Amino acid sequence: MDKRRVVITGLGSVSPNGIGNDSFWEGLKNGKNCVDKTTFFDPKEHTSQVAAEIKEFDPTKYLSPKELRQVHRVVPMALAATKEALDDASLFGKQEYEDKIGVVLGTGAGGLGYGEGQIKTMYMEGLRKVSPYATTGTFVGMLSSEISIYFGFKGMSLVVSTGCTSGSDAMGYAFNNIRFGMSDILITGGAEACITPAIVGAFCRMGALSTNWNQTPKKASRPFNKDRDGFVMGEGAWIFIFEELSHALNRGAKIYAEVKGYGATCDAYHKTVPEPTGRNLVRAMEIAVNDAGVSKNDIDYINLHGTSTVLNDAKESHAIKQFFGEKAYSIPTSSFKSMIGHPQGASGACGMAGTVLAMKNGFIPPTINYENPDPECDLDYVPNKGREADLRTCLINSIAFGSKNSAIIICKI
When divided into structural domains, the chain yields a total of 2
Report if residue 256 sits inside a domain.
no
CB-based contact 402:163 (threshold 8 Å): yes
Domain check: are 274 and 197 in the same one? no
Q: Which of 250, 276, 307 is the last residue of a domain?
A: 250
- The Cα 346–Cα 333 span in angstroms is 19
**Amino acid 1: pLDDT:** 61
Q: What's the pLDDT score for residue 95?
A: 86
Instruction: Choose, from 72, 247, 318, 342, the residue flagged as catalytic.
Output: 342
Catalytic residue flag (residue 164): yes
Terminal C-alpha separation, the chain: 23
Same domain, residue pair 316 and 361:
yes
Judgement on whether residues 292 and 206 belong to the same structural domain of the protein? no
One domain for residues 137 and 286: no
Q: What would the mean pLDDT of 366-389 be, rounded to a whole number?
A: 98
Of 250, 273, 291, the residue that ends a domain is 250
Options 46, 72, 247, 305, the catalytic residue: 305
Rounded to the nearest 10 degrees, the angle between the axes of helix 166-179 and helix 347-361 is: 70
The mean-pLDDT minimum among 14-18, 97-101, 336-340, 357-361 falls in: 97-101
Instruction: Look up the domain containing 384 and give its range.
Output: 261-411
Residue 1 included in any domain: no
Helices (H), ranges, 193-329: 197-206, 245-250, 279-292, 310-324
Of 250, 277, 301, which closes a domain? 250
Q: What CATH number is attached to the domain comprising 212?
A: 3.40.47.10
Region 328-337 average pLDDT = 98
Asked if 204 is an active-site residue, the reply is no
Q: Which sign, positive or negative, has the C-alpha torsion 166, 113, 34, 18?
A: positive
Residue 305 bears catalytic tag: yes
- Inside any domain, residue 255: no
246 and 267 share a domain?
A: no
pLDDT tens digit sequence for 5-21: 999 999 999 999 999 99
Tell me the HSE value of 248 on the side-chain side, using a 13 A CA sphere: 25
- Label the pairing between strands 333-334 and 301-303: parallel
Q: State the average pLDDT over residues 300-327.
A: 97
The answer, yes or no, to whether residue 273 has pLDDT greater than 90, is no
pTM equals 0.97
Catalytic residue among 34, 46, 72, 164: 164
CA-wise closest residue to 15 among 310, 307, 238, 321: 238
213 and 326 assigned to the same domain: no
Write out pLDDT tens, residues 112-142: 999 999 999 999 999 999 999 999 999 999 9
